[in-house]
Amino acid sequence: MSSLSPSPSLASPPPSLASPPPSLASPSPSLATPSPSLAAPSRVLPGDPLRTAPSADPASRPASLLGARRLRLALCLLPVLLAAGWAVANRPVVYEGVRRLVAADPGWLLAGAGLTGLNCVAAACVRQGALPDRVRPGLLLASQFAAGAANHALPGGFGVHAVTLRFLRTQGVPPARATASIGLYSLAKSAAKTGVLLVFLAATPAWRRLGGLVPDGRLPVPAVAAGGAVAAAGVLLTVVRPLRRPVTGLLRSALADAREVHTRPCRVLALWGGAVAMPLVQGATLACVGASLGLGLPWQHVVLAYLAAGTAVGAVPAPGGFAVDAALVWTLAAFGCAPAAATATVIGYRVLTDWVPLLPGTLLLSALIRAKVL
């Protein structure tokens, strides 16, 4: 029996075959864990999207945030300070206009206030009609109301255009298209106002009284200034070649946008309908103020006086339209109105359309700046 039992040498394998050598049983420590040089980069690469370099100076971030908040607060308070300074500088005019408006007929003044708000709606329609892109109508209307306050700080309507351009840029409109829309807005507004003036001149025989306001043998100052500006622009574009390429590119973009706008009936209606409505609404507002103060002129004569005065000296770069106001007083007097009544009407019109909306307009402008809409 003992001869049939396996020998110890065959019962168990030799130690060399039973277990692998230590070198093969467990990986080397150099292979089990990666090298520190491979596990994490020793420095942050400039283009690494997974890692961001820590701030060099953590204390500088609160200081920069504080500086940005102060700058935003200064921009919000700047329109309010400008409005307050303008009111203080024009205390007699403000007092006289308010005194006469207090004694005026409130019904006609309320109608004039409603027409003033309708003018902002018409301006917003023209802005949207001049732009192929669609912007939010509520914010567009708010920007146009706030732009009226900025118009007192810059002459020639530049404040309205600056606010509108900033608004369009925040709404994602490209710079070339936004600038082209402002040019189309100005062109449509001027062309529509001239057309409405020609219609009133043809329908109202009282235009003959305006002949005494035109200088004999001399061109009006705005016509000379406009001709000189056009000539200077032509000389600059001809002589200075670096200006030619961006200007021609802008004109090309403006023409393309104008063609695209006029292929859409809704844009055409908004552009030209609003442009025609704006001078009519403004002239009707002046007629309402004149009726409240007992001006004694038919509304056709008042609207014609407004159109004639605005067209004659509208190109004069004066903040707040003071040149237009002076010409309007003379035009109303030429139609047979007493100078005192004409002055009171113009002051009341300016108080109702500019000075009364000035405070809410500046507050709205500050709110839009704080909300980063402008």
- Tell me what the pLDDT averaged over the chain comes to: 75
CA distances from 347 to 28, 60, 284, 288 (A): 96, 52, 15, 13
pLDDT tens-place string over residues 282-311: 999 999 999 998 888 889 899 999 998 887
pLDDT at residue 160, as a whole number: 87
Contact criterion met (CB below 8 Å) for 307 and 283 = yes
pLDDT tens-place string over residues 363-372: 898 889 888 8
Residue 355: DSSP 8-state: I
pLDDT at residue 181, as a whole number: 92
Res. 98: pLDDT tops 70: no
Res. 24: pLDDT tops 50: no
**Phi and psi at residue 86, in whole multiples of 5°?**
-65, -40
pLDDT at residue 68, as a whole number: 66
pLDDT tens-place string over residues 104-132: 888 998 999 999 999 999 999 999 999 99
Q: What percent of the chain has pLDDT over 70?
A: 60
- Per the structure block, which two tokens stand in for 196? 């409405």
Rounded Cα gap, residues 230 and 239, in angstroms? 14
3-state secondary structure 237-250: HHHCHHHHHHHHHH
Rounded Cα gap, residues 270 and 288, in angstroms? 25
CA distances from 256 to 118, 124, 253, 362 (A): 30, 22, 5, 35
Nearest partner of 157 among 287, 273, 323, 285, judged by Cα = 323
Rounded Cα gap, residues 277 and 296, in angstroms? 25
Res. 135: pLDDT tops 70: yes
Nearest partner of 311 among 145, 150, 196, 209, judged by Cα = 196
pLDDT at residue 268, as a whole number: 95
Rounded Cα gap, residues 328 and 243, in angstroms? 39
10 Å Cβ neighbour count for 61?
10
End-to-end CA gap in the chain:
107
pLDDT at residue 40, as a whole number: 45
pLDDT at residue 80, as a whole number: 62
Rounded Cα gap, residues 275 and 272, in angstroms? 5
pLDDT tens-place string over residues 232-253: 766 666 666 676 677 777 788 8
Nearest partner of 122 among 352, 259, 280, 351, judged by Cα = 280
Residue 206: DSSP 8-state: G
Res. 219: pLDDT tops 90: no
pLDDT at residue 93, as a whole number: 62
pLDDT at residue 226, as a whole number: 57
pLDDT at residue 142, as a whole number: 93
- Give mean pLDDT, residues 187-191: 92
pLDDT at residue 66, as a whole number: 66
CA distances from 344 to 107, 146, 286, 289, 351 (A): 17, 26, 11, 9, 10
Residue 154: DSSP 8-state: S
- Per the structure block, which two tokens stand in for 189? 């507004």
User: Hey, which of 145-154, 190-199, 220-229 has the most confident mean pLDDT?
Assistant: 190-199
How confident is residue 259, by pLDDT bands cut at 50, 70 and 90? very high
- Per the structure block, which two tokens stand in for 364? 């709205």
Rounded Cα gap, residues 75 and 18, in angstroms? 85
- Give mean pLDDT, residues 172-192: 91
pLDDT tens-place string over residues 33-85: 444 444 444 444 444 444 444 444 444 456 666 666 676 666 666 656 766 77
